[in-house]
Structure 1
């Protein structure tokens, strides 16, 4: 939606609400219109389809607090086409109407076709009231140093490397400054010349009555210079896609899904501006033994029925070797034993723990001797307390 639409269209009238309507009233009005005019409920009715599109367009602006505020400010300034030059009306001598299309250059998709939302709205007013003087918020500011874009990359780490920390080479393909022309876009031995239209300002001014409007120069695209003989390497753009390798340090304890920021390692800035940042998304490959919960490592270890009943000393692996944990007699399946300080090392030097879950394994087959021993054991063992279960069985019997 162009800025011209914001001035010429009355979105409140489209939804049938007052300008002071609350957000809930706007939403209710939109839902009613959308329901009544939805194409599914009005097949083959082009007018209903147009009403549905208009309602959706209006709600996209009035349903957003920030956009609604900017829309109200813009309409209050330009007054639904009532903003005219001179004190007389359009039909009276000297009353020449102010054409909104003049304000936006009569073109779409160019510099004059601003989209309102955030900075675009501010840029419009700075252009109107700066008189093309090239103030801090004016178009001439675009010719100053510009920060380069941020770059994102993804790296997969082994589990052990993520826990301990590792330095790995990272190869990137991203735009960079052309080494042949050093970024000016001109063929070696030549230089860009000052734009003959804007005389190096990068903007041109147009007078509309008592107002002066500025816009980026169309001859040099707002740069202020033109290249007559283009660099054969970058074809006059000043930039090429480069392959570069960086050594990236991943700190100990980096987690899956974590994002690491490397300041100044993104795309180089334009016209001497600072480079953007590099954001590396970390993916950690799962380990065949260990899991991880925060700074704690997790491990599931199988034990026999006899070890759980009688107790045992259990040797378990860690990232730094092995430790011995005492399994007390009568340990149930699922109990967690803790090996303190054997987890992930935190940034402050402290370490998490290793949490060992015991899994009592029931054999699928036993020998005749073992079965006889188990039957003897069962005969000497009192039944488990299951009174609550037996009461439930009797209830439904």
Structure 2
């Protein structure tokens, strides 16, 4: 089962403040605390999930690594997620309301490794046409020296002396009796008397690995590419998790993407806007001719059908929508100013050549007259 995004778990945005994170965590943890939901496995899992999310997002350093690499950046041990710290986290938020207890752990068995996320930034052209990129990710793999057991070669783990191999202990405070993960063995039920010299008893070592990611044509912001078996190593011989490469689009100098459609602004001179003309406009497939009719106003949209994007999910290509922006000339010469002044005089005598301006001034005049009435 893939891990949920920590921000989704607490139902907060990525820009949430420390106070907002704390409030969101309190709400989720109170709702799913084991003492309020006895023998409810779903609530128990959500309580643990909230603890894990808050532990990461409330730590600036861990949060920065999570924002960049997802679960790969904060769970080098394969998805334990700081289970041993649940009691401390919950106590910090709630004091002794529930006796400072944490989540209820289960005896560790064979488990699939955690799914990971990698944020991949793409240029528009590569996203539209498809590409292959190489990425480097931090990951945890089973230690080769001890085959993932954590124990030195020739030895093996023994039952935990605190929980007698169960992986859980029961804490009593007042009226409350809370079962929680064993603090010594972290729920595994085992202790390592003679740890491996390579992994120091963890059973896994950290590595950086390079992967080749094939990006299909037409991907968009938020799309995910799944790399099966490239997540964290499994626990106690379990299969590895998956890696999800999440696509994020870089801003483009010319185009703004909206699903299948592309938008761009095209500046034109007031002469071309008034008299009409023909322009060359860019598309992702090269330049095309665009006819500008006479008397075109700024903000006018022109649609070039089929010049947008073909989605990764199939279907026809979208359109390119070109918004015309009439540009006022600058650094005029004396002769140009004379011509424009002459043009202005002729326009005043002809009248009705600026219908919007005329209508606006008529509206202003009526508004002022109404105020005086």
TM-score, normalized by length of structure 1?
Answer: 0.58
2:366 corresponds to: 391
Q: What count of residue pairs does the alignment treat as equivalent?
A: 274
Q: Which residue of 1 aligns with 2:325?
A: 359
Confirm whether residue 146 of structure 1 aligns to residue 111 of structure 2: yes
Task: State how 1:248-263 maps to structure 2 within 5 Å.
Answer: 248-263=213-228
For residue 331 of structure 1, the aligned residue among 296, 300, 304 is 296
Per-residue deviation, residues 316-374 of structure 1 (Å, max 9, x unmatched): 01111111111111110111111111112112142111111111111124344444443
Alpha-carbon spacing, 1:335–1:270, altered in 2? closer, same or farther (3 Å): same
Pair 1:150–1:371, CA change in 2 (3 A): same
Which residue pairs with 1:115 in the alignment? 102
How far off its partner does 1:218 sit? 8.4
TM-score by length of 2: 0.61
Give the deviation of 1:293 after TM superposition. 2.1
* Alignment CA distance shift 1:394-1:367 (3 Å): farther
- Answer with 1 or 2: which has the greater Rg: 1
Q: 1:237 aligns with which of 154, 178, 202?
A: 202
Q: Is the 8 A contact 1:195 1:219 kept in 2?
A: no
1:192 aligns with 2:179: no
CA distance in 2, matches of 1:163, 1:186: 50
- Structure 1 residues 388 and 234, CA, compared in 2 at 3 Å: closer, same or farther? same
Contact 1:295 1:343 in 2 (8 A): yes
- Between stretches 334-343 and 384-393, larger displacement belongs to 384-393
**Partners of 1:205 and 1:309 in 2: CA distance:** 83
Retained in 2: the 8 A contact 1:312–1:327? Answer: yes
Assess, with a 3 A threshold, how the Cα gap between structure 1 residues 395 and 224 changes in structure 2: closer, same or farther. closer
- Distance in 2 of aligned mates of 1:390 and 1:204: 82
Query: Can you give the 5+ residue segments of structure 1 that lack an aligned partner in the other structure?
Result: 1-59, 75-107, 124-138, 207-212
1:275 paired with 2:263, answer no
Q: Report the Cα distance in structure 1 between the residues aligned to 2:187 and 2:28, rounded to whole angstroms.
A: 34
Contact preservation (8 Å) 1:195, 1:226: yes
Give the number of the structure with larger relative contact order, counting CA–CA contacts within 8 Å between residues 6 or more apart: 2
1:73, 1:192 → 2: CA distance? 35
Q: Give, in angstroms, the shift of residue 249 of structure 1.
A: 2.5
Question: 5+ unaligned residues in a row in structure 2: which ranges?
Answer: 1-25, 40-86, 89-98, 171-177
State the Cα RMSD in Å: 3.9
Residue 12 of structure 1: aligned partner: none
